[in-house]
């Protein structure tokens, strides 16, 4: 009996202390590495119990249901054969079947023979790192994400080399192969993130205003998560950090195209969806058409024309086809009787131009001076030690606008005859030819 216990214990100890692989070592189908700290495990899995398809993946350790956060050979499962992960003779991490056929490789060329110090380690962040003392990190799974964005992971967009990292959904819940949806930084504007359905934009985040997201997670959690974007002259970097590193938090792009922020609830032993988008058609990119917005302050979000605009094709609009959008009730006459209407609590439209180093007065007068400028928005971004002004102007149509129940921004909309009153607009105060309305009116 004692011997039996000892053997179980030694087996357990072997498992929990094994967070790394060195040249000559390998793990096979039924084995796994567990990070030092036990948060994550690396090993082979099959998404369905019936299937014999094997994938190498990383999942949360000690969790009743297997939640996979990274998959290596997502396009090439090993079928009907035992699988092996090891460090190859040229220092790559490779996944092979029983006869040595390579199903996945870290694909680094010209590294040479693995030295004594080459090692693959599963870190407690869920990052699988291949490193060598002299060269530091050779490869890491955080640079090659699948569908999940974890705390500590960085997505970088490099303007000059157009190097970016995109997340790609699974095909469906049982198939890790790349699916229909992808997620990443918008390469045109780089102040927002997007999901795509194939080549088309499917959903767009709010324009970055300092912190894309921050807040307590879930009713009983004291943990706070921050999504920060650091932009400089040649690249842009997005990173998620969590105040309590023991909390399990992730962004996952589901196979049906929803970008979800999930946190693990210890009480119910379930993932709680903390934020998700899009949750209805109205929130999908451009669903409401030009010069319209999705009103998310209502219990059932719906498309509405911006103030001073009316449906372009009323019958289509009434029938629930919003694609034609809205048109002005009063045509702009540049410089004569036009002004800005402030709409509060908005998700700012897409296709803006970011003007650097402008004050709010500069921002407004620059928009005023250009006859094709239809709107502007201004805020100050908190970039650590300094405040960076963010002046956005729109030339032409406004697309994918929203009204939010919280964390919206002010959008200044150029309209004709603003001071003489526009149907549906109640002016709360005037500043010259500058009229404001309260969100929701």
Ligand X SMILES: *[C@@H]1O[C@H](CO)[C@@H](O)[C@H](O)[C@H]1NC(C)=O
Q: Name the site residues for ligand X (rule: CB under 6 A).
A: 28, 30-31, 48-49, 82, 89, 104-105, 107, 116, 158, 160-161, 172, 179-180, 186-188, 201, 219-220, 234-235, 246-247, 255-256, 265-268, 313, 316, 321, 323-324, 351, 357
- Shortest distance, CB of residue 107 to ligand X, whole angstroms? 4
- Which residues are CB-contacts of 426 (< 8 A; sequence separation ≥ 6)? 437, 438, 441
- Shortest distance, CB of residue 338 to ligand X, whole angstroms? 25
Instruction: Select 63 or 329, whichever has its Cβ closest to ligand X.
Output: 63
Instruction: Select 316 or 338, whichever has its Cβ closest to ligand X.
Output: 316
Instruction: Select 332 or 353, whichever has its Cβ closest to ligand X.
Output: 353
- Shortest distance, CB of residue 122 to ligand X, whole angstroms? 17
Residue 286 burial by CB count (10 A; 0-12/13-18/19+): exposed, middle or buried? buried
Instruction: Select 314 or 426, whichever has its Cβ closest to ligand X.
Output: 314
Tokens at residue 359, please? Answer: 């004050």
Q: Which residues make beta-bridge pairs with 264?
A: 271
- Shortest distance, CB of residue 4 to ligand X, whole angstroms? 16
Instruction: Select 9 or 438, whichever has its Cβ closest to ligand X.
Output: 9
Query: How far apart, in whole angstroms, are the C-alpha atoms of residue 102 and residue 203?
Result: 37
How far, in whole angstroms, is CA 359 from its chain's centroid? 30
| 425-427-431-433 Cα dihedral, nearest 10 degrees | 40
- Shortest distance, CB of residue 150 to ligand X, whole angstroms? 15
How far, in whole angstroms, is CA 74 from its chain's centroid? 20
- Shortest distance, CB of residue 331 to ligand X, whole angstroms? 20
- Shortest distance, CB of residue 215 to ligand X, whole angstroms? 16
Phi, psi of 315 (to 5 degrees): -70, -40
Query: How far apart, in whole angstroms, are the C-alpha atoms of residue 259 and residue 67?
Result: 16
- Shortest distance, CB of residue 316 to ligand X, whole angstroms? 5
State whether the Cα torsion 330-204-277-275 is positive or negative.
negative
Instruction: Select 337 or 389, whichever has its Cβ closest to ligand X.
Output: 389
Question: Is 141 within 8 Å of 149 (Cβ atoms)?
Answer: no
Instruction: Select 377 or 391, whichever has its Cβ closest to ligand X.
Output: 391
- Which residues are CB-contacts of 104 (< 8 A; sequence separation ≥ 6)? 56, 72, 73, 76, 94, 95
Collapsed DSSP state (helix, strand, coil) of residue 46: coil
DSSP class of residue 144? S
Instruction: Select 209 or 258, whichever has its Cβ closest to ligand X.
Output: 258
């Amino acid at each position: 009996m004692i011997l039996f216990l000892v053997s179980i214990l030694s087996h357990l100890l072997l498992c929990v202390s094994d967070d790394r692989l060195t040249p000559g070592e390998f793990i096979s189908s039924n084995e796994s590495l567990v990070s030092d700290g036990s948060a994550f495990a690396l090993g082979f899995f099959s998404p369905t119990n019936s299937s014999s398809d094997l994938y190498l993946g990383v999942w949360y350790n000690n969790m009743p249901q297997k939640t996979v956060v990274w998959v290596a050979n997502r396009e090439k499962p090993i079928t009907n054969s035992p699988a092996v992960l090891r460090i190859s003779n040229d220092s790559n991490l490779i996944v092979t079947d029983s006869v040595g056929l390579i199903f996945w490789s870290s694909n680094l060329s010209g590294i040479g023979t693995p030295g004594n110090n080459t090692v693959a380690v599963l870190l407690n962040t869920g990052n699988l790192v291949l490193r060598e003392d002299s060269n530091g990190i050779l490869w890491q799974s955080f640079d090659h994400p699948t569908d999940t964005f974890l705390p500590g992971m960085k997505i970088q967009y490099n303007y000059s080399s157009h190097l970016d990292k995109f997340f790609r959904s699974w095909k469906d819940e049982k198939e890790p192969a790349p699916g229909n949806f992808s997620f990443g930084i918008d390469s045109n504007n780089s102040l927002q993130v997007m999901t795509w359905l194939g080549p088309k934009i499917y959903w767009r985040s709010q324009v970055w205003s300092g912190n894309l997201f921050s807040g307590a997670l879930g009713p009983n959690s004291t943990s706070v998560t921050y999504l920060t974007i650091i932009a400089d002259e040649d690249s842009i970097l997005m990173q998620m950090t969590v105040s309590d590193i023991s909390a399990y938090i992730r962004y996952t792009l589901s196979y049906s195209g929803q970008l979800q922020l999930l946190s693990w609830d210890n009480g119910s032993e379930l993932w709680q969806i903390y934020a998700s988008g899009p949750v209805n058609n109205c929130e999908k990119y451009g669903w409401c058409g030009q010069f319209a917005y999705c009103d998310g302050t209502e219990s059932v979000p719906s498309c509405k024309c911006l103030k001073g605009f009316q449906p372009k094709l009323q019958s289509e609009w009434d029938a629930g086809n919003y694609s034609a959008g809205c048109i002005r009730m009063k045509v702009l006459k540049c410089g004569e009787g036009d002004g800005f209407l402030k709409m509060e609590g908005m998700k700012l439209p897409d296709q803006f131009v970011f003007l650097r180093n402008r004050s709010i007065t500069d921002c407004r007068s620059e928009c005023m001076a250009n006859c094709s400028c239809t709107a502007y928005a201004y805020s100050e971004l908190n970039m650590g030690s300094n405040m960076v002004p963010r002046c956005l102007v729109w030339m032409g149509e406004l697309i994918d606008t929203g009204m939010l129940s919280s964390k919206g921004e002010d959008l200044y909309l150029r309209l004709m005859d603003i001071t003489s009153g526009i149907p549906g607009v109640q002016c709360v105060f005037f500043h010259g030819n500058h009229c404001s309305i309260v969100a929701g009116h």
